[in-house]
Amino acid sequence: MQFRLSKKSILKGLEGRLGEDDYLEPLEYLIESFKKEARLNLAGNLGVRHQLINRLKVRAQLNEFIQDKELPAPSDPLFVMGLPRSGTTFLFDLLSCDSRYRSPLFWEITRPFPLVEKNSKEAKKRIKQTNRELSLARKFIPELLGMHHIHAEMPEECSLINTMNVRSFIFMCMANSPSYEEYLKTCDFTDTFLWHKRFLQALETQARPEKWLLKDPSHISHTPELVSTYPGAKFIHIHRNPVKSIGSLSSLTMSVRSGLSNHANAHKIGAAVLDFWQYAIEKSISDRAKHLTSEQIIDIDYRDFIKNPLEQIKHIYQHFNFDLSQATLNEMQNFIDNQSKDDHKPHLYDLKDFGLEEAKVQEAFSNYNRIHNF
């Protein structure tokens, strides 16, 4: 089935309300790519339609909110980044135990306006609506829950915020879209992070955290734009053998695309995932040498982190001269002790199912592997 949405139908009632026109170029690339390459089924068409229209409506609401307001710069962010499926979520969850940090929750990103008080009747209503939506998504993609647990009240990645600018790797996970993926690799994300910053500023009008705690795998390839937008930002880069990351993400992408298209091709997915993230990691290596000092970033080895999570947490706080209280350490230990085994079932996949071999992946990341001894 061909992608049935046009730019006109997506923007109906929104033109003139979306602020700057930075969304137009990526929207055109996405629509053309999905029309020619995606082969979405009915669920895919409905899902993409909902995602695009919902996110642009939120952008329109945010644009209206910031008009005639002189909003202060948001609190400095702490970014967790690394290849997908490399332990970033576990690290992020542990850091979230520090009450001084704040992360946008899933429901806040999808249904933020008008802003409402935490625990209010309206907030609870939006949480219910969001969880209902997520339940529906799991019906079409039943494997999703086991691979990537999502709940309305959980912190969510910046990739969902960035869909307001239509520059997000979420879209490439949804459907075969090689031309959009090529665009996404090399386009400038300055405007994307302008809207990202505006979103944090809007949330801060209710409560300003000491620091924002943020996460997104794709941040590895956007260091210049992030540093320009957030000069006081700090970065934690967790590193895992790319063989594990590429295989796991290929499997996740296959599960998502299979729910939205009857033509998901495992070998095409494997090739696209390998190409996109090999490019991202090489760009990351180059960019950080030019734009980050050792005081701004710390590297964590996934193997060390899994072996002794709290030891690595202490290392992070010491590196950035952040205060780490015993109470926060106790909260983190409690989180580790109470993790559900069901939330961490082994994610089973075989590289060969995606036309990949370990040697090929290792060769693609040979420079990265040499640096981090993989």
pLDDT tens for residues 192-220? 999 999 999 999 999 999 999 999 999 99
CA atoms lying within 13 Å on the CB side of residue 116 = 17
Q: Please name the amino acid found at residue 64.
A: E
The span from the CA of 48 to the CA of 31, in Å, is 10
Question: What DSSP string runs through 256-294?
Answer: HHHHHBTT--HHHHHHHHHHHHHHHHHHHHHHHHHH--T
Place 341 in a pLDDT band, splitting at 50, 70 and 90. low
Does domain 7-372 bear CATH number 3.40.50.300? yes
**In the predicted structure, residue 140 carries a pLDDT above the cut 70:** no
Q: What pLDDT was estimated at residue 1?
A: 63
Q: In this predicted model, what pLDDT tens digit does every residue of 275-286 receive, in sequence order?
A: 999 999 999 999
Could you tell me which residues come within 8 angstroms of residue 281 by beta carbon, excluding any fewer than 6 positions away? 83, 220, 221, 242, 365, 368
Q: What is the mean pLDDT of the chain?
A: 92
Strand partners, 215: 80
Neighbours of 206 (CB within 10 A): 10
In terms of pLDDT, which residue wins out, 144 or 362?
A: 362
Q: What is the pLDDT of residue 347?
A: 59
CA distance 277 to 247: 12
pLDDT per residue as tens digits for the range 36-59 = 999 999 988 988 988 999 999 999
Q: What was the pLDDT predicted at 15?
A: 82
Q: What is the pLDDT of residue 340?
A: 58
Rounded Cα distance, 319 and 120, in Å: 38
- Report the pLDDT value the prediction gives residue 339, as an integer from 0 to 100: 81
- Type of residue found at 283: K
Q: Which of 157, 204, 164 is nearest to 20 (CA)?
A: 164
Least confident piece of the model among 161-165, 182-186, 236-240, 258-262: 258-262
Which pLDDT score is estimated for 164?
A: 97
pTM above 0.85, yes or no: yes
Q: What angle do CA 298, 165, 155 make, to 5 degrees?
A: 50
Residue 148's pLDDT band, with cuts at 50, 70 and 90, is low
The mean per-residue pLDDT over the stretch 295-323 comes to 97
Per-residue pLDDT of 9-27, as tens digits, reads 899 989 889 999 999 999 9
